[in-house]
Amino acid sequence: MSNYSMDTKCVQGGYTPGNGEPRQIPIVQSTTFKYATSSDMGKLFDLEASGYFYTRLQNPTNDYVAAKIAELEGGSAAMLTSSGQAANFFALFNICEAGSHVVASSSIYGGTFNLLAVTMAKMGIETTFVSPDATEEELAAAFKDNTRAVFGETIANPALTVLDIEKFAKAAHDHGVPLIIDNTFPTPVNCRPIEWGADIVTHSTTKYMDGHGVAVGGAIVDSGKFDWMAHADKFPGLTTPDESYHGIVYAEKFGKEGAFITKATSQLMRDLGSIQSPQNAFYLNLGLESLHVRMPKHVENGQAVAEFLEQHEKVVKVNYPGLKSDPYYDRAMKYLGNGGCGVVSFEIAGGREAAEAFMGKLKICAIETHVADARTCCLNPATSTHRQMTDEQLNAAGIPAGLIRISCGLEDKKDLIADIEQALL
Ligand SMILES: *Cc1c(COP(=O)(O)O)cnc(C)c1O
């Protein structure tokens, strides 16, 4: 599929049925797989042969969908996980251990910030957070001898900052470590971070990839480009024998293209078990089949809503990288030429009370803790996800009490704008 365009890969990537086989990917709803002899199965346990034996490690339905996502991102291998949180944790923990250090953009999803700042810190993995706008010097100063990865989001949820992927990739590579990019918001339809130097790409497939609010899931894609052996001392998990698999060395046996995903599957899935259900992988694939059709519409609606809000007297400020007035406009033009996503945030005059009143009047836009759905939804962090914080704390975090996040769905933009207009009255 690698020569086909994005649109064709979205529809047909990852699965090519043979004669008389199902046209749609089969849901292999089976925990286990049968073998004629113990030695046949033994080869799978030794990673001497590839195949299926237990769905916690691998399942054909998941593999079809992972292969499609690998093609979409231009990667060499991919795996599905039960959620976006699991994807980011696995991507990091596959190369970090107690005593490791991570450099991460401070402008990331709250769940990922917590994962790094609290949960992984408890595991002995320390993170230095840097501004997504850090200079080369500031970035370089964040690295330590034990730094093992750099992490950021292409378009951050919910701040809508755009990362300078090339700059972060250069800093990572100058220090001999990979750049991991969470590409959830633009999806590969609007940005392919590997083309800009990212080594590993992660997704919360719960968002646009599914796009219909039906299945929580995640994915990890390896570019196959990072040379683990060239930095062997930093990544012993990939470059020295794994005693739990008769001493195989992942980077030797599976090469640059296969080592990362094989290790994450055979060690982390085996031990931590965060597999996506085959049924959810099937739903995810249905979403992927129309991703290239849906993303331009999300962008069109996001742009129209952002432009409408920008000229409204009751709106203090709008964040949307597609607006010329947005500080990330130039970077968006570089990395997101087709537009970024359908998520817009804005500050309403009158703070918390005005935000609550506005949201109460909306008819099409529903109040939800979700984004990137076919149906438009919105959220006021001050009265929901961040309600434990005072106005002063909210301002310090760059989340004013009157901030509202709107995730523009696939409805008609005229109806969306009319709904927002009547609610602003
Ligand atoms: C939602 C989200 C996550 C977490 O994904 P889940 O599927 O909810 O676990 C991670 N990163 C980004 C950018 C997200 O938007």
Q: Which protein residue's CA is at the shortest distance from atom 1 of ligand 1?
A: 204
Distance 87 CA to ligand 1 centre (A): 9
- The confidence score (pLDDT) of residue 50 equals 86
Q: Supply the DSSP symbol for 163.
A: -
% the chain with pLDDT above 90: 90
Nearest residue by C-alpha to atom 15 in ligand 1 = 157
Q: What is the dihedral of CA 382, 208, 224, 104, to 10 degrees?
A: -10
Q: How far is the CA of 212 from the centre of ligand 1 (A)?
A: 15
Q: Specify the pLDDT at position 1.
A: 66
Per-residue confidence (pLDDT) for residue 163, from 0 to 100:
98
Residue with tokens 């899931």: 217
Q: Which amino acid is at 254?
A: F
**Residue of higher predicted confidence among 412 and 44:** 412
Q: Relative to the CA of 185, which ligand 1 atom is closest?
A: 13
d(CA 68, CA 353): 45
Which residue minimizes the CA distance to atom 12 of ligand 1? 109
Is the model's pLDDT at 416 over the cut of 80?
A: yes
Q: How many A from CA of 319 to the centre of ligand 1?
A: 20
- Residue 257: how many CB atoms within 10 A of its CB? 15
Question: Contact 251/224 with Cβ under 8 angstroms?
Answer: no
Mean pLDDT of 147-171: 96
pLDDT band for position 47 (cuts 50, 70, 90):
confident
How many angstroms is it from 338 CA to the middle of ligand 1? 22
pLDDT at residue 253 is higher than 90: yes
Task: Count CB-CB contacts under 10 A for residue 76.
Answer: 19
Q: What topology is assigned to 6-286 in CATH?
A: Aspartate Aminotransferase; domain 2 (3.40.640)
Please compute the mean of the pLDDT values over residues 298-314 and round it to a whole number.
Answer: 98
| DSSP designation for 342 | S
pLDDT in tens, 332-342: 999 999 999 99
How far, in Å, from the CA of 206 to the mean position of ligand 1? 7
Q: Is 46 helix (H, G, I), strand (E, B) or coil?
A: coil
Q: Give the Cα separation of 42 and 374 in Å (integer).
A: 45
From 205, 206, 276, 369, give the residue whose CB has the most ligand 1 atoms within 8 Å, as the site to mutate.
206
Edge to edge, what strands does the sheet with 200-204 contain? 77-81, 218-222, 200-204, 179-182, 147-153, 101-105, 126-130
Please list the residues that pair with 79 across neighbouring strands.
220
Q: At what angle do helices 413-424 and 291-310 cross, to 10 degrees?
A: 30
Enumerate the domain spans of the chain. Answer: 6-286, 292-423
- Helix pair 278-289, 291-310: axis angle to 10 deg: 70
Beta strands in 217-350 (DSSP E): 218-222, 315-319, 343-348
Dist. CA 284 → ligand 1 center (Å) = 15
Residue 97 reports pLDDT greater than 90: yes
Q: Kindly write down the DSSP assignment for every residue of 195-233, as one continuous string.
A: GGT-SEEEEETTTTTT-SS----EEEEE-S---TGGGTT
Domain 292-423 homologous superfamily, CATH: Aspartate Aminotransferase, domain 1 (3.90.1150.10)
Do residues 187 and 371 lie in contact, with contact meaning Cβ atoms separated by under 8 Å? Answer: no
| E-only strand ranges, 320-382 | 343-348, 366-367, 377-379
Q: Which tokens go with 77?
A: 């291998």
Average pLDDT over residues 221-233: 98
Secondary structure class of 78 (helix, strand, coil): strand
Residue 285: closest CA among 46, 88, 12: 12
From the CA of 216, give the closest atom in ligand 1: 7
Indicate which atom in ligand 1 lies nearest the CA of residue 184: 13
- Summarize the confidence of residues 155-184 as an average pLDDT: 97
Give burial (CB, 10 Å; 0-12/13-18/19+) of 314: middle
CA of 112 to the centre of ligand 1 (A): 8
Which ligand 1 atom is nearest residue 217's CA? 7
Nearest residue (CA) to ligand 1, atom 7: 84
State the Cα–Cα distance between residues 36 and 42, nearest whole angstrom.
11
Q: With the C-alpha atoms ordered 61, 64, 65, 66, is the resulting torsion angle positive or negative?
A: positive
Q: What is the mean pLDDT of the chain?
A: 96
User: Kind and range of the H or E element at 300?
Assistant: helix 291-310
Overall size of the chain counted in residues: 425
Sign of CA dihedral 318, 323, 325, 326: positive
Q: Which atom of ligand 1 is nearest to the CA of 156?
A: 13
At residue 270, the 3 state secondary structure works out as: helix
Spacing, Cα 204 to ligand 1 middle (Å): 5
List residues near ligand 1 (CB under 6 A): 83-85, 109, 111-112, 153, 157, 182, 184, 204, 206-207, 216, 218
Would you put residue 398 in left (φ > 0), alpha (ψ -120 to 50) or beta? left
Q: Cis bond leading into 400, ω under 30°? A: no
Say which residues have a Cβ less than 8 Å from residue 104's Cβ, sequence separation at least 6: 116, 127, 128, 129, 130, 150, 151, 152
Among 15-24, 102-111, 332-341, 392-401, the least confident range: 392-401
**What would the pLDDT profile of 50-68 be if each residue is shown by its tens digit?**
889 999 999 999 999 999 9
Compute the distance from residue 243 Cα to the ligand 1 centre, in Å.
33
Angle of the 278-289 helix axis to the 60-73 helix axis, nearest 10: 30
**Dist. CA 329 → ligand 1 center (Å):** 24
Q: How far apart are CA 53 and CA 60, in angstroms?
A: 11
